[in-house]
Amino acid sequence: MAEVTWEQVAPGVHVRRHEELNLNCGLVVGSERALVIDTRSYHEHGMELLAAVREVTDLEVVVVNTHAHYDHCFGNSAFRDSQIYAHSGAVDDLVRTAEIQREAIVAHMRRTDREHIARAIEMTEIVMPFYLVEEDTELDLGGRVATLMHRGRGHTDHDLVVGVPDAGVVFMGDLVEEGADPHMEDAYPLEWGATVRAFLDSDLGADSGTWVPGHGLVVDRAFVEDQASLLERLAARLRELLDAGALGVDGLVSGCRGLGLEDQTLRDAAVRALELRTP
Ligand SMILES: [Zn+2]
């Protein structure tokens, strides 16, 4: 297995990409506290991440979950002594879906012959974030701040972005994805592009050159602009097709081909667009 290490993307700002799902976790080190961004999929994974954090810093650790998908927050149980921040919508989502997510991922692990991971996820205690964010929130890490921001619905209805203004780094969670299509299953395809655009247009975004997706390689501003444009084109096309009336999922999918997204992505987006349109 390839060695997993922290990549320092700016002074005191680190990214750790994991083989499983190409998931990125972040670490921002101040002079008094360190911020960990996302906690991986289950307790042992969280413990392994915590051990990696301890190789970089002994400071008190604060945690933020970018959203309520299991791969970003089921490792919280390893950080139960820390303040864990998330958007309030993430807690609502976890209350509703944590056990459903657990069941689905355990079944998937069993189907793909990964019994030990299935067991580990079954045994993991779901630890809720309990510092809830609804407006921009600055975390003082000592000598630097990290800003938690929500700008509307996109990958979920509660995506939190973490900006490190002094370093020009933005952790986008799954609002941006590198190496795979944006993941639409719980998404708001008619709004996602505008939400990413809002971050690009923000003071923080304008000054930031390093953007960390939830999965895949660290990217630059141009990549995020391309992804915003793609999502805006998808939204415009979906809206046109919906306004033209009476199209099912298949009609929406075929109408959106040619944008450069996979059929499965278009299918998920179409299902969501139709669901969300129903009053
Ligand atoms: Zn996600």
Sorted by sequence, the CB contacts under 8 Å of residue 170 that are 6+ apart come out as 161, 162, 163, 164, 199, 204, 205, 208, 210, 211, 212
How high is the pLDDT of residue 76? Answer: 98
Largest CA distance in the chain: 59
d(CA 27, CA 14): 5
Which pLDDT score is estimated for 159?
A: 98
Rounded to whole angstroms, the Cα distance separating 40 from 152 reads 24
- Homologous superfamily in CATH for domain 6-277: Ribonuclease Z/Hydroxyacylglutathione hydrolase-like (3.60.15.10)
Q: List the structure tokens of 115.
A: 């019994």
CA of 174 to the centre of ligand 1 (A): 5
Is 40 in contact with 71 (CB distance < 8 Å)?
yes
Give one DSSP letter per residue of 70-129, joined into a string: HHHHGGGGGGTTS-EEEEHHHHHHHHHHHHHHHHHHHHHHHHTT-HHHHHHHHHPPP---
List per-residue pLDDT tens for the chain, 279 residues long: 456 889 999 999 999 999 889 999 999 999 999 999 999 999 999 999 999 999 999 999 999 999 999 999 999 999 999 999 999 999 999 999 999 999 999 999 999 999 999 999 999 999 999 999 999 999 999 999 999 999 999 999 999 999 999 999 999 999 999 999 999 999 999 999 999 999 999 999 999 999 999 999 999 999 999 999 999 999 999 999 999 886 799 999 999 999 999 999 999 999 999 998 865
- What residue has token string 């959106």? 256
Distance 130 CA to ligand 1 centre (A): 20
**C-alpha separations of 196 from 64, 74, 255 in Å:** 19, 25, 23
Q: Which pLDDT score, from 0 to 100, does residue 1 have?
A: 45
How far does the centroid of ligand 1 lie from the alpha carbon of residue 72, in Å? 7
Domain boundaries, the chain: 6-277
Instruction: Report CA(78)–ligand 1 centroid distance (Å).
Output: 20
Task: Enter the tokens of residue 154.
Answer: 């996109």
Burial (CB count <10 Å: 0-12, 13-18, 19+), residue 121: buried
DSSP per-residue letters across 150-208: --S-SSSSS--EEEETTTTEEEEEEEEESSSPPP-TT--TTTHHHHHHHHHHSHHHHT-
Question: Is 163 within 8 Å of 169 (Cβ atoms)?
Answer: yes
Rounded to whole angstroms, the Cα distance separating 254 from 24 reads 33
Cα 139 to ligand 1 centroid, rounded to whole Å: 23
Residue 155 C-alpha to ligand 1 middle, in angstroms? 7
